[in-house]
Amino acid sequence: MDLSGPWPLWWLDLALAVMAAEALWLSWRGRRHAPARLAPRDWLWCLLSGLALLLAMRAALAGAALPVVGACLAAGGLCHLMDLRGRLARADLTRS
């Protein structure tokens, strides 16, 4: 398989659409199913970090300027940091 040629960007668009559908489904499920509520803080930062990384990959493959790719990667890193911070805070609350 030769990966040096143009890569079909629609695969990334499909992945982004699936992530959007997943966000809608998680939001719906969190509101509808009371016993097993999923708060957005439990999944939103993780989903946003993946979204930012996919956008960085799409921008790089589409030939966007390097600052655009860097901004997407930085946004992904910040979302990962926020996700980790939330998980550590919740873990501290369960310990005490």
For residue 47, the model assigns a pLDDT of 94
22 inside domain? yes
In a domain, 3, yes or no: no
- Residues 6 or more apart from 19 whose CB is under 8 A from it? 47, 50, 51, 54
Residue 11 has pLDDT above 50, yes or no: yes
User: Would residue 81 count as lying in a domain?
Assistant: yes
The whole-number average pLDDT for the span 6-32 is 87
Domain region containing 18? 10-95
Is there a domain that residue 2 lies in?
A: no
pLDDT for the residue 42: 79
Answer whether residue 57 is part of any domain. yes
Query: Residue 1 domain-assigned?
Result: no
User: What total number of domains does the chain contain?
Assistant: 1
Q: pTM of the predicted model, to two decimals?
A: 0.81
Say if 5 falls within a structural domain. Answer: no
In a domain, 23, yes or no: yes
Residue where the block lists tokens 């979302």: 79
pLDDT tens-digit map of 30-89 = 777 655 667 787 789 999 999 999 999 999 988 899 999 999 999 999 999 999 998 898
pLDDT at residue number 1: 41
